[in-house]
Amino acid sequence: MSSTEQGTSSAAPAEPTTAPESAAAPEVPESFYYVHGKDKVVHKVSAGALQHSALIHGMISNLGYTEEQAKANPFPFENIDGDILQMVVDWCNQHKGKPTPPEDTNLPKQKEKLFDLVLAVNYLEIKELLTYCCKQVAMMVKGKSPEEIREIWMIPTDAEDEAAEKEAKKRAGKEAAGETAAAAGDAK
């Protein structure tokens, strides 16, 4: 049941007040980490931006590094080219603390790097960027003929696949023979 309470006070209407600055919650300084790729160029990235990467987020979540410690211990990603890592870092910075839009206009545009970018993003477990990249790969063949698809996605013909398979078998055979010979040499 609702009720109406009648007041008797004749106080002046409340005015909006500004809290004194000293009462505001102290701002937590943003922490930064450092990463480098194959080229050893170190990138300083905020923890907020790195949250996009499930891999790095998992690595840093319990570290409690000071600024100096973080600087002294950059995360090495030797399997990622420097320019690719730069693209990934840029994307993470642009999307720091923001929900990712359904269509991302900030995607790296260099298609020649797309293959390496997809592999890097997959390795770093950046789910949204991976979906965007894969979508870009899928869109490359939209409405194309099988011949055009073969060219764009570099699909080898059956004959090329067979030749490559034969070659791989031959190589494997040679390697196995070499190992057997080496083992026989060791035994002597």
Partner 1 sequence: MPIALLNFPTDLLGEVFRLCDPFDLYKLSKCSKRARKSIKLGNTKSWKITFSFQNDMNIWVDRYRNYYFKKTENPEDYFKREHMEYMYVQFPDGGALDFSIDLIETFGIRIVGTLSFPSDIFDNFSNVVTALTDRNMEIEEVQIGGTEAGQDVFNFMPLMNQMNTIQDFRCFPKFPSNFHHLFDKYPNNINIHFSSWFTIDQLLDCTSVHITLFRSTLNNQDLNMFLQKWKKAGTFPNLRSLIILHTETIDNQSRILDMVPPIKIADNPRIRVSMKDRDSIVDPVQVKKDDGTVGWLVVEDHREHDGSLEFLM
Using CB under 8 A, list all residues that contact partner 1: 111-112, 114-115, 118-119, 122, 130-131, 134-135, 137-138, 140-146, 149-158, 161
DSSP-assigned beta bridge partners for residue 111: none
The minimum distance between CB 77 and partner 1, in angstroms, equals: 17
The minimum distance between CB 38 and partner 1, in angstroms, equals: 19
Residue closer to partner 1 (CB basis): 42 or 134: 134
Q: Which phi and psi (to 5°) does residue 138 adopt?
A: -60, -40
Q: Which phi and psi (to 5°) does residue 2 adopt?
A: -90, 155
Residue 125: Cβ-neighbour burial (10 angstroms; 0-12, 13-18, 19+): middle
Residue 61, phi-psi category: left (phi > 0), alpha (psi -120 to 50), beta (remainder): alpha
Residue closer to partner 1 (CB basis): 5 or 103: 103
The minimum distance between CB 123 and partner 1, in angstroms, equals: 10
Of residues 47, 82, 88, the one with CA closest to residue 67: 47
Residue closer to partner 1 (CB basis): 138 or 183: 138
Residue closer to partner 1 (CB basis): 144 or 174: 144
